[in-house]
A and B are shown apart, each in its own frame.
Chain A
Amino acid sequence: MGYYRVKKIIILVILHTFLMSVALSCLLPFFWMINVSFKSQEEFDNGYVAKKVFSPQQLEKLLTSKIAKEAKFNPKFLIWNVSSEDMLRVKLTQLKIEDKDKILKIWRKTRDYGLRPPLSLNLTNYKEVIFKEGFWRYFLNSVFYTFVTVCFIVIISSLAAYAFSRLHFPGRNVIFYMFLAAMMIPLPAGFVPVYVLLNKFHLVNRTGYVLAMTNMGLSLSIYLLKTFFDQLPKDLEDAARIDGCNKLRIWWNVGLPLVAPALGVVIIFNALNVWNEFVLASLMFTAEELMPLQVGLMEFSNRMVTQHTLIASALTVAALPIIILYLRLQRQFIKGLTAGAMVG
């Protein structure tokens, strides 16, 4: 008895250690990202020492000398703008400060590039990223593209799926298999001809992008909705028909409400697809007022290579809404993203 119990507990401990370490490796970078996004670049790069460590005379000396730099947002700390420990040591020696080693130790400990909680919840990075660097616009652009594309896909694919499942017309199966085949054939350079085409039709703008993205999600959405329609009983629709509804009204009033669960999956799958799309958007939108978030992020990080805290807050602006949405709607997200795989 005891032997099996012990064995079981040991196995569970090993298992949880393994799972936990992988989970931590997933969470730590994001913790770092959010943490750093609240820091100023100075605070991120340099160590800091609480003012109360010093005696009043020392503090006087430090503040009047040029080498000490006080953080404006927090009166409790001293932040040195020096790049190495040796430099700080030299400067402290010059000022004849006692307890040099203690100060250096604190400085070294606090100079950790982002894992310590921020000195204060300071939102200047966010203000700069969102308003000055125009992330509000990228964000609204992404919302616009995602919303319009998903609306198009939902209406067009549910119409088609309803027809494929319920209505009769010549060539029904052939056309359906064509959509299926489109899902199976890998088109690694599919964006090339689409981009050339949009260029030709002078559609390198919002409309062209939305139409191209609509097409990207169409096949899978039609397939998912069609299989869902196939499983539903036809009684309700028959009743509606007898009551004198036309086909369009049956689709809208009876069909769509019935496939609502599948629509959720379709919406999330496509919304994520459009939100995360980069290739076509980066080819099409070189003007800032049209860029979606992913392209804006890329441009921004190329422009601001060494502004680590700004980049961290830009990344947070882009990632956090998705993470929060995901935490609210986990089940649908998992279904939505694996839907594509399960079809094969």
Chain B
Amino acid sequence: MKSAAKRAGLCIVTMLIVSFLAYAAFALISGDPAQTLLGTDATPERLEQMRHQLGLDQPFMVRYLKWLLGFFTGDLGISYSYRQTVWSLIAPKIEVTLCMALISFVVIVAISIPAGILAAQRSNGKSGLLSTGLIQLGMAVPPFFTGILVSWGCGIVMKWFTPGDFPGLHSAKAATALRHLFFAAVCIAIPRIAMTVRMLRSTVIGEMNRSYVRTAISRGNDRRGVFLRHVLKNSLVPTVTFLAQTMAEIVGGSIVVEQVFGIPGIGRLLVASISNRDYPVVQALVVIMAFWVVLAGTAADLINQRIDPRLRLGGGE
């Protein structure tokens, strides 16, 4: 109970720091939202008025504290670029990105864990070279390029989905939408799969070479049992931590992939809001993403404590 309170407190402090840094960053970089909204039509009077309307004529700390107060009372403010509440703007987009992130995560776990174990088993000879090559390739090719390749190959040539035609999750074509998200999710997943496989492979090989494994096998335990009961279990702790980190990174990876696949998610919105200097939207998204990262870390800790009870005592490795 005590540790739960401690965790929640840590989470809030992290988000406070992140939100303040994001706010401060905008104060430092050039670009004025009023100017961006008015474009080349701006006259000094209209700029002044727009700044007043958006509350930009107030001092920095006042604006930040107002935002913070609003945030804790559930009011995320109004988007500068869309004249609607930030929540109504981002809620449907969070849904899309979350859906894509989950599909991506499932794909990563479903492929990388068996593949990682298999790669560890066959780390010598030709198959070892092959897996190393595939891992290098998977990590080196950026999702942007994979995205174009997949859109072209699976979309235009094979016609498995229609690039550029994302129907929306709540439309009559929800299945089409999910399929669209699946291909985008695969593009995000590929580099992460490669990294997870590499990580798992080296952990398993390292564990296999440890003396307790040799002792266990020489005492006549069967290999399979030793592997499943000891090696795998010990290799899972770093893997879960790594996957949690991946969960957080997927959301970052969605930024590029959403643009290529024309998916209306938070990644695209974040990019556009930063270039439009739409502070309220950026603030909300940054805090939500920070929350997501903290959440993934917490989930990893909890799962690891189940796998290895020693971690529960706060000592651990």
The answer to whether A and B come from one shared complex is no
Which chain A residues have a beta carbon within 8 Å of chain B's beta carbons? none
